[in-house]
A and B are shown apart, each in its own frame.
Chain A
Amino acid sequence: AQSVAQPEDQVNVAEGNPLTVKCTYSVSGNPYLFWYVQYPNRGLQFLLKYITGDNLVKGSYGFEAEFNKSQTSFHLKKPSALVSDSALYFCAVRDMDSNYQLIWGAGTKLIIKP
């Protein structure tokens, strides 16, 4: 069965420090992987996606994510956190070979402290 895990409910980072939000996945075929961000009482916004190619994907607002096939991970990273990065982050996966729907992680709340 397809699944996505975001092992941390909340991540706290000081402003200016690097941040990592973790995501691991399980699919039977090759994955499409996505990160979205949700600000309070708003819909989600697309950050980046991995389909194929370079394992390091760059996205919006200075975020990037690294696809690691052996560890089945797709962690979201940013070199220097901003207070405005504080939000809820969702990882999602689709099995490339099944044409099935997106499967979503439970979300990780990122808090950046000044």
Chain B
Amino acid sequence: DGGITQSPKYLFRKEGQNVTLSCEQNLNHDAMYWYRQDPGQGLRLIYYSQIVNDFQKGDIAEGYSVSREKKESFPLTVTSAQKNPTAFYLCASSYEWGGGNEKLFFGSGTQLSVL
């Protein structure tokens, strides 16, 4: 079945540690996104990638990094510079960026907590 796979489902970070969240899609989509979800707030965009080997900062990129070396993969690293990393992280993809054809497909999310 086509879709987006995020792993792990739960992740715990120690202080000063970098952790990486995995996101893989087999939908052949060009665009991929990372969102952060906090209770009572809308989704906030961390990074997005319109095409392989390219990515752009979203509204809350500080303390995060990404790569897009393959079309199907868009891993997110939460660095030690991110002082409040506890949140639910969602990866999404779409056929293309913008233009109204923006039906997003989401993974099941990763819950990151600080030990």
Contacts and interface: CB of A to CB of B under 8 A. Distances in A.
Interface of A: 4, 9, 32, 34, 36, 41-46, 49, 51, 90, 92, 94, 96, 99, 101-107
Interface of B: 4, 6, 40-45, 48, 58-59, 90, 92, 98-100, 102-109, 111
- Secondary structure call for the B interface: loop
Contact of A102 (B6, B40, B41, B102): B102
Contact of B102 (A44, A90, A94, A105): A94
Given A41-B109, A42-B109, A104 B103 contact: no
Given A51-B100, A94-B98, A101-B58, A4 B42 contact: yes
Nearest to B90: A43
A43 B42 contact: no
Contacts of A92: 42
Given A43-B92, A99-B99, A102-B104, 6 more contacts: A9-B40, A42-B108, A43-B106, A44-B90, A44-B104, A49-B102
A96 B90 contact: no
A104 B38 CA distance: 12
A34 B102 contact: yes
12 contacts: A9-B40, A32-B100, A43-B6, A44-B43, A44-B106, A46-B103, A49-B100, A94-B98, A94-B102, A101-B48, A101-B58, A104-B43
Contact of B42 (A45, A46, A105): A105
A107 B42 contact: yes
A34 B107 CA distance: 18
Nearest to A48: B103
Contact of B109 (A43, A90, A107): A43
A32 to B, nearest CB: 5
Contact of B108 (A9, A36, A43, A104): A43
B103 A49 contact: yes
